[in-house]
Amino acid sequence: MKFPSSTSFALLGAALIAISYGLARFAFGLFVPPIRADLDLGADVIGIIGALPLISFVFATMVAPLSANRLGARNTAMASGIFGAVGLALISQAVGAVSLGVGVVACGICTGLMMPALTAAMQALVRRSLHGRVSSVMNAGTSIGVVIAVPTILFLAGAWRYAYASFAVLAVIGVIATWFFIPSVSRVVPANAAPAQPISTDQWWRLLRLSLFAFMMGFVSAAYWIFAPDLVVNLGAMPSDATGWLWLGVGVAGLGGAVVADLADRNNSPITQALMLMMLAASLALLAASPDNQLISAFSALVFGLAYMSLTGLYLMTGIRLLPGRLSMGPVLPFMAVSLGQAAGSPVVGMLVSEAGYADAFAMFCAIGIVVAMLSPLYPRYLEYEPEEETEEDTGLQAAYDYQLQDEEGEPYSPVTGKTESY
């Protein structure tokens, strides 16, 4: 069996993330209008169903590192793909709230298992000096998947079942590719790397603050992910296929998230988070104010996509830096917090839409986002632990990965030049 090169692995990882995150998770909001109409579901019911994959994602993420270590990267990634294929197929055949809910729960499990499996495979196949670059490419898969979903709503707006059936076929292709190209390995670290230091009280406190910000960002973003297309169809009287332009804007702008996160690492993370949260809130306000204006709606999607992907990238980097040597915890906890926030926000916004209408519900969530942005000075400042004089190479996602493995002197572990790494 021939394993892929670093470049090929990054592209394969991006494709698998596009399926598991973009199609199995975030594409759901794009199809809410036709699904609601065909299955006769209220906004409050859709809000609850929209929270289910986020809850199953959290539970899957909790067991994913253990699965990747015990079962290996290939088996864990294949399990993720199988859950995705089954979930997407169930959604395509849904006849009511229960069958739709079961399908989205399976899709949530798919999403939660995939990234830990790919991370374990990356550490076995890719040189550590390329981990940051490969991770950035794989993370971009979310935006790519969102963009891929756009043609389906443009050409299959009235046939969402066929769209989800096509997604299920792509998931099956992903499972086959996983079998051939992902190694059946567990995470291995060099023998001469120092063990991770015990987590201090200060680290826990900073991680708690990070997780609270991530939770609130997820809470606010739930309104857009679940109900933005529904808003422009019901409040703006746009045709269902017009909502595809929203997700196209989200996906395209989301590709710039990695750049913003890297700039935040080089400069000031609290200020960057405040700016991105204000942009997130502004996207909700723009959409609620002009749901019948396709140009403004598309611009709100661009703002939302850039803000959301930038914030998730920032939380990923901060989590890695806060807990060196603990990749199963540092970046995982804030991502779980984002999903828990979305799971909490989805039924709340659904209830508000039913009681107060779309405009008022989005305005309330916009106000919450502004308040959270004002609290950004409390965002954990991990840079103060590093030397005052930083070189350009000491910032960004790659630097965060470099500090995961340290030698006995506390310096970043460097493999011997000219030898193949053993993990």
Q: pLDDT per residue over 253-290, tens digit each?
A: 888 776 776 677 666 788 889 999 999 999 999 999 88
State residue 258's pLDDT score. 64
Question: Has residue 13 got a pLDDT over 70?
Answer: yes
pLDDT band at 76; cut points 50, 70, 90: very high
Per-residue pLDDT, 102: 96
Average pLDDT, integer, range 41-69: 89
pLDDT of residue 393: 47
* Model confidence at 415: pLDDT above 70: no
pLDDT for 324: 72
Average pLDDT, the chain: 82
Task: Name which residue leads in pLDDT, 374 or 196.
Answer: 374
Average pLDDT over residues 388-395: 47
Same fold, 1-186 and 200-404: yes
357-383 mean pLDDT = 89
CATH architecture entry for 1-186:
Up-down Bundle (1.20)
Radius of gyration of the chain (CA): 21
Rounded to two decimals, the pTM is 0.81
Residue 384 pLDDT grade (very low, low, confident, very high; cuts 50, 70, 90): very low
Topology adopted by domain 200-404 = Growth Hormone; Chain: A; (1.20.1250)
Instruction: Quote the pLDDT of residue 293.
Output: 86
**Domain assignments of the chain as residue spans, ordered by start:** 1-186, 200-404
Q: What is the 3-state secondary structure (H, E, C) of 150-167?
A: HHHHHHCCCCHHHHHHHH
Average pLDDT rounded to a whole number, residues 238-246: 74
- Residue 203: is its pLDDT beyond 50? yes
Q: SS3 sequence, 188-246?
A: CCCCCCCCCCCCCHHHHHHHHHHHHHHHHHHHHHHHHHHHHHHHHHHCCCCCHHHHHHH
The answer on pLDDT for 147 being more than 80 is: yes
Read off the pLDDT band of 395 (50, 70, 90).
low
Write down the pLDDT at residue 390: 42
Most confident of 159-163, 243-247, 255-259, 318-322: 159-163
Least confident of 74-78, 147-151, 309-313: 147-151
Question: What does the pLDDT read at residue 100?
Answer: 95
Of all residues in the chain, what percent carry a pLDDT higher than 90? 36
